[in-house]
Amino acid sequence: MKLVTLLAQVDTDKCKGCRTCERVCPVLAIKVVNRKAVVDPERCRGCANCEQRCPDYAVTMVKR
């Protein structure tokens, strides 16, 4: 079993609510609420798909 050490974190000042992160998340850990992405830390598996695909660089991976 893989130990999950990373967690997606959204910079709400940069986030424009484009929903790209929501579409690329394999475990549906990101939802866009009020045009801002919100990460569910319980579901996030630290794959960094959202960080790599965000056009506004609003998502970063941080240590849990």
Domain layout of the chain by residue ranges: 6-63
pTM: 0.89
Name the phi and psi angles at 49, rounded to 5.
-60, -45
Banded pLDDT at 49 (limits 50, 70, 90) = very high
Structure confidence at residue 1 (pLDDT): 83
Average pLDDT over residues 5-24: 96
CA nearest neighbour of 12 among 33, 40, 28: 33
SS (H, E, C) the chain: CCCCCEEEEECCCCCCCCCHHHHHCCCCCEEEECCEEEECCCCCCCCCHHHHHCCCCCEEEEEC
Query: Right CATH number for 6-63 from 3.30.70.20, 1.20.1420.20, 3.40.50.1950, 3.40.720.10?
Result: 3.30.70.20
pLDDT tens digits for 27-44?
Answer: 999 999 999 999 999 999
pLDDT tens digits for 15-28?
Answer: 999 999 999 999 99
